[in-house]
Structure 1
Amino acid sequence: MARAGRRNDWGFPRWGGYGAERQAQQVRMCDRHGCDQPGDCPAPKSPNSRERWYFCQAHAAEYNKGWDYFQGLDEEERTRREREEQATASGFAGGAFYGWGRPGDGTRTRDEMRALEILELEADADFEMVRKSWRRLAKEYHPDVKPDDKDAAMRFQAIQAAYDVLKVAEERRTGKMG
């Protein structure tokens, strides 16, 4: 007695084989006229409506580009709601860049740590030490001091960029601009 074919029931006669369904998957297409991409990004048809459009990612971005959350509110109501949103979303503010996963001592970003390496400083250096190291290295590698040295010119540009990164970070930390 010959077998008709190989069975895929894994020894469980009452079960069908895993992944044996041959039915087509239902895919919702993008609601944008003429688009043939899957519509997997829901967007409200109007404010406070349960009805949704389903767009592809490109058309969802286009749809949301002009979205104004505070549309139709006067200036006072707009500022009040914005303040409330910021107050209740304070947990997300710390995660602007993953505060728990920062390199070094936990207070600097990866870019700041690279900048400190370029300025030959440790991770716990304060901004005064940054400024002193920047001045020392800038004087050493300045193109006027070494006019025909391409490596010195590249090093000087890296020193300047590192100082700019750390200066912006310090301004952001202290709240002082300019």
Structure 2
Amino acid sequence: MALIGRGLSRGHQLLAYTRPCLVSCTRITMATTAKEEQDQFWEKNRKLNRPMSPHLTIYKPQITTMLSITHRATGIALTGVLYAFGLTMSVLPGDFATYLALVQSWSVGPALIGLTKFGIAWPMAFHTLNGVRHLCWDMGYGFELKNLYTTGWFVLGLSLAVGIGIAAV
């Protein structure tokens, strides 16, 4: 440590390397704000008659787009339901068996029970199967257009079958 201090005091190599940085570093102020930059951008586009960027609403829906949106939505929904259920069960008095007995006392019909089971099983099955499809893409497989559509329809059909199968049990 003493050697470093001695080197700095004598103006040796360490100070020689740091001095240009200390001298040349100055504060740079922005000439325009972000709002002014944005206004200039849109004014330039208006003058050149450039069209605005197309929005999703003008495109024809494709299976790949719909599956991507559904994959994200099911992931968000499953996460939200899992956290809400966990937090609710940790705050409410009693245990899970108490609330299961309460739901059984409502005497709902088998159609509503099957629909509820399907509503829980299908997002889980779809998100899992489509996640496997995405993992295959991460490994570099299935990027040909024909494979994209084939695997998309396969994931959709298989997830519906799995959801119906679980709901029927």
Normalised to the residue count of structure 1, the TM-score between the two structures is: 0.31
Higher fraction of helix: 2
Normalised to the residue count of structure 2, the TM-score between the two structures is: 0.32
Higher fraction of strand: 1
* Higher normalized contact order (CA 8 Å, seq sep 6+, divided by chain length): 2
